[in-house]
Structure formats: C-alpha cells, structure tokens
Amino acid sequence: MWRYIVKRLLLTIPVLFGVAFVVFVMVRIVPGDPAQIMAGQQATRELVEGIRRDLGLDRPLLVQFADFLTGLLRGDLGRSVRSRAPVTEELAHRIPNTLRLAAAGMLVATTVGVTAGVISAVRPYSLVDAVVMVVALAGLSMPIYWSGLMLILVFAVWLNWLPAVGSDSLAHLVLPATALGFSSAAIIARMTRSAMLEVLRSDYIRTARAKGLAERVVVNRHALRNALIPVITVVGLQTGTLLSGAVLTESVFAWSGIGRLMVDATLNRDYPVVQGAVLLVALSFVLVNLVVDLLYALVDPRIRYE
C-alpha cells in the first residue's frame, strides 16, 4: 500500500509540471497587459515599460518559465502583480475559507444525495422515486448562480433569516454551502439510485432476504456497502470540484475563497496568483483521487494495491 501511495505521489510531479506549463502559456496569450492595468489607462509609455521591467515581463517566455520553475522548487510562487504580496500568503489567506465551504457543501451533498438515492432505489418507480428523480433533474439543470440568487432572495431578503454575502461567521456559510451542495447532491442521488438498483437485484440480496433478515439490515449492511464504489468515485470528483473554489458560488455570495481570488486575478492579469491558484487546484484533484482509490480498498476488501 505504501509503495502504491509513494508511486502515485511521484506521478504528481509530471502532472503539476504539465499544468504549470499550460497555465503559464495560457495566461500570457490572453489579451491584456498587467503593467498597463497597474499603471492605469492614462499612464505614459515610459511608466508602463518601467513596470514591465520590474515585473520581468520584458524577458523571453522561456526565461520567465525557468524562473517560475526555479521559484516553485523553492516553494516560492512569486509575488502578486496587484498587491505585491507573496502568492503563498494570498493563497494561505483564502484556503481556510475554501476548505470550510467545500466541506460544508460536500456534507450537504453526500447526506442528501445518498439518502435520496437509497430511498429512491428501495421504492423504484413509485411516487417517492419519481419526486426524488424530478428534484435531482432540477438540481442538475439549474445553474448554480441562479439557485444561489434564489436562496438569497428567499432566506436573506424575504425572510431575513440569514446573511446574503460574506464569510465572517457560521451563518454566512449556510446559503453558499446549500447552493453548492444541491447540485452535487443531485448527481450523487442519481448515481446512488443506479448502483443500489443493480445491487438489490443480485442473488446474494435475495438470499439475505430469504434468510429472514430485516429489510433495514439488507439495505444498509449488504446492499449499500456494495453499491458504494461508483458513489465514492462521484463523491471524489465532486469534492475535487468543490475544492477548486466553486467560482460561481464564491462570486455570488462574495465568499473570500480560492475561486473568487482566481476570478479577481484573471481580471487583473495577475499572472503569479493565477498560476499559483491553478497549481493548488490541480494538486487538490490529484490528492482527492488518491484518497478515493484508497477508499476503494477500505469499502471492498477484495481490492488490493501492490
């Protein structure tokens, strides 16, 4: 197992290198000059060129990329073009908020999604099943910015129960976590229903029922555990998506996280912050996928990694 983990972590290095190269090139071919943005539209050409020299943007791209990789090996992601603060500090300031939002959103998504999927599978083609699937389809179809705005309208404007924007307290977490978790819950519910229906038709489930086991025991102990492999895969993918900052959710609710930082950095052509944030997102996806692979062996003892 440890050899497998070390091997996967070593494979992370070329993945991050590829991501760094692609992001480095992409952010520089996007129209816009960060030096001009910093200097302002009325700045003289000499001032803009001076800022470009200070930022190192006048050097060849390969030289800039080599400097970026050298700094990356030292744990230095550079300095923000806009604030001149180290990128690592900018990210470290936003990571806790993103982790809180992602954890709360995934808690909502997993709890609602798995519960709804199991109930729907236990009563297939019933009214309950139809209602659950219609709600799941609605969750998949609704853009997250629209559902977020509706939550703000109902619970912040009409009822005045919760704050609409910000990330200062636990109350500020409820609406964005609900909006973020609802769309993921719909995907998890559909996958859970599909996996449970397949398992409930298996011979060993009929045998368990023939032995006189209670339906609750059959569903929870025998069927659900064996149906968790595809569900864990979906949960892992959704967790990676939530850890990426959930850009729309953070923008709608003015949540101070990685996603909002990436949006602001992109608009201001803040190359170092964009590069650092994307690398962090890529690393989170790799680590989440590793955890998902390890959970397979925990859920199904027949799976072993050499």
d(CA 217, CA 221) in angstroms, rounded, equals: 5
Positions of the chain with pLDDT under 50: none
13 belongs to a structural domain: no
Type of residue found at 211 = K
Give the pLDDT score at 287: 84
Any domain includes 16: no
Give residue 232's pLDDT: 86
- Give backbone dihedrals phi and psi of 79, rounded to 5 degrees, phi first: -120, 145
Q: pLDDT value at position 154?
A: 92
In the prediction, which pLDDT does 158 show? 92
For residue 204, the model assigns a pLDDT of 84
All residues at 6 or more sequence positions from 7 whose CB lies less than 8 Å from its CB, including other chains: none
Residue 305 to residue 2: CA distance in whole angstroms:
9
pLDDT at 23: 83
Residue 216 within any structural domain of the chain? yes
Q: Is residue 201 part of a domain?
A: yes
Q: What does each C-alpha distance from 43 to 30, 34, 203 come to in angstroms?
A: 21, 13, 76
For the domain that residue 165 is a member of, what is the CATH number?
Answer: 1.10.3720.10
Domain assignment present for 283: no
The type of residue at 201 is R
pLDDT, position 244: 63
Q: Give me the domain span that covers residue 109.
A: 91-262+288-299
Q: How many domains does the chain have?
A: 1
Structural domain includes residue 80: no
What is d(CA 249, CA 187) in angstroms, rounded to the nearest whole number?
Answer: 17
Residue whose C-alpha is closest to residue 224's, from 181, 191, 259, 268: 191
Give a yes or no: residue 225 inside a domain. Answer: yes
Residue 294 pLDDT: 79
Q: What is the pLDDT of residue 52?
A: 77
Give the C-alpha separation, 20 to 39, whole Å. 27
**Residue 98, domain member (yes or no):** yes
pLDDT at residue 258 in the model: 86
Each residue's pLDDT tens digit, 129-159: 889 888 888 877 888 888 888 999 999 899 8
Residue type, 256: S
Q: What is the pLDDT of residue 132?
A: 87
